């Protein structure tokens, strides 16, 4: 039972355009959400988070949107840069429980 789903295994975007990565969850108990970025042969690095009391959080080029009624989370990267090419994991949690999605490979073409 995958409680956190990233339905797009990969996404390809032109440099300078917007990248939108999506994540759906099923457990209404989740009250915080995070995005991680992972380069090959490295561990995931924390990117941005949002709590369930907010619907948007922004950090530079990265914005996370939360739609609680739809149980949907998205990460917007504007403008996309070739260095953003990586695997992006979304994660959702409550209390001591944190569940990761399977990841989306983002390729930014120059």
Partner 1 sequence: NAGVTQTPKFQVLKTGQSMTLQCAQDMNHEYMSWYRQDPGMGLRLIHYSVGAGITDQGEVPNGYNVSRSTTEDFPLRLLSAAPSQTSVYFCASSYSRIAGGHYGYTFGSGTRLTVV
Q: Which residues bind partner 1 (CB under 8 A)?
A: 4, 6, 32, 34, 36, 41-47, 49, 51, 89, 91, 93, 95-96, 98-103
C-beta closer to partner 1: residue 68 or 79 = 68
Give least dist CB 61 to partner 1, A.
Answer: 17
Q: How many CB atoms sit inside 10 A of residue 35's CB?
A: 24
Give least dist CB 55 to partner 1, A.
Answer: 16
* Vertex 87: Cα angle to 85 and 92 (nearest 5): 135
**For residues 63 and 76, is the Cβ–Cβ distance under 8 A?**
yes
C-beta closer to partner 1: residue 60 or 110 = 60
C-beta closer to partner 1: residue 65 or 94 = 94
C-alpha to C-alpha distance for 48 and 37, rounded to whole angstroms: 10
Q: Which two tokens stand for residue 93?
A: 């949690």
């Amino acid at each position: 039972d995958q409680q956190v789903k990233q339905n797009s295994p990969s996404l390809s975007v032109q440099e300078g355009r917007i990248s939108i990565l999506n994540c759906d969850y099923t457990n209404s108990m989740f009250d915080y959400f995070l995005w991680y970025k992972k380069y090959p042969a490295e561990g995931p690095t924390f990117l941005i988070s949002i709590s369930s009391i907010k619907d948007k959080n922004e950090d530079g080029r990265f914005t996370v949107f939360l739609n609680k009624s739809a149980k949907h989370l998205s990460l917007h990267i504007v403008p996309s840069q070739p260095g953003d090419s990586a695997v992006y994991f979304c994660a959702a949690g409550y209390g001591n429980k944190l569940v990761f999605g399977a990841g989306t490979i983002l390729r930014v073409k120059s």
